[in-house]
Structure 1
């Protein structure tokens, strides 16, 4: 057995065990990865169809631009697409003609569609006078942001669309502009 110089023995011990800073960095990285995975899991769960708390949703009512009232209960029992939009939202405005065509093509087979404007009444009235849509529009105002969050739109962004089946179960959610492929998939 050869004798080692004390500094040589110390160097071997230090190289065999990671430095505290390296260990700490790995520990922090592992914690960050676990937190990210947990956050992704929560986001995935919240976006699963049928998981939103719909307590009270079907009891809501909203004023319409023409002065009547639209009750959500009156729309229960058939498939329902609800689109949250605003006049100041370019992708919202861009998708409205597509939604209007979808409604016209599918209302006879039981599909319903309502646009909930997260906006002020005057701009919505002016917009609808210039660009009418075939489906009912109601005024959700700023409360529409909270409602969309309850339905799974955590960021409150627009446009936001949800689809309910005839039993009132939330089946689909989409944050962002709706396209023809979305409507075909939802229609089944």
Structure 2
């Protein structure tokens, strides 16, 4: 191939890249799908029991028992560094967790990602809540909460009683989340 052909291919590739970026910028984001769970007569949901039975590594590689969050209102966010809506919502989720400081609820993140990518990301964005490395096992955990497609981000609101109050598939709408958190503690 000569230099003229190579330059033409590069120009066409760049044009498609720009067109793809413009489509992505102008694309309207779908509303997150939410699911409310039926009460289980005061018993924790099975998926909650499975969550609290887990021990996952933190970003320093130390195993952490998720049972430490049992008995407290908890927001569990399943995410990945390669997931654009996850990355977009995390700064606001981190600010929300930082505002509350665990007084009314706690936030944890379970990454479906490599420990090194998660650590680099968390350091860069200064995430204010604990992050745990779930890997592909994290996808299975989220499926237990009704995330049958394994989509991300996927967030689960759990009451102090172990009841799943609501799940959110897609980028969080923070007005809705704040209203749900107020009901949880009201």
* TM-score (norm. length: structure 1): 0.71
Query: Could you tell me how far 1:69 is from its partner in structure 2?
Result: 2.3
Match of 1:99 in 2: 93
Point out 4+ residue stretches in structure 1 off by more than 4 angstroms.
none
Alpha-carbon distance in structure 1 between the residues aligned to 2:36 and 2:104: 24
Query: Could you tell me how far 1:53 is from its partner in structure 2?
Result: 2.8
Larger relative contact order (CA 8 Å, sep ≥ 6): 2
Query: Could you tell me how far 1:116 is from its partner in structure 2?
Result: 0.3
Q: Give the secondary-structure state (helix, strand or coil) at the position aligned to 1:162.
A: strand
1:35-46 to 2 correspondences below 5 Å: none
**Alignment gaps of 5+ in structure 1:** 1-46
Alpha-carbon distance in structure 2 between the residues aligned to 1:152 and 1:63: 24
Residue 114 of structure 1: which of 84, 90, 108 is its match? 108
Q: Give the secondary-structure state (helix, strand or coil) at the position aligned to 1:177.
A: coil
Aligned residues: 144
**Structure 1 position 53 matched with structure 2 position 14:** no
Match of 1:178 in 2: 172
Query: Could you tell me how far 1:119 is from its partner in structure 2?
Result: 0.4
**CA-based RMSD:** 2.0
Match of 1:149 in 2: 143
Q: Is the 8 A contact 1:102 1:183 kept in 2?
A: no
Query: Could you tell me how far 1:77 is from its partner in structure 2?
Result: 1.2
Match of 2:125 in 1: 131
* TM-score (norm. length: structure 2): 0.72
Alpha-carbon distance in structure 2 between the residues aligned to 1:117 and 1:108: 20
Deviation digits for residues 70-95 of structure 1, max 9, x if unmatched?
22210011110000000000100000
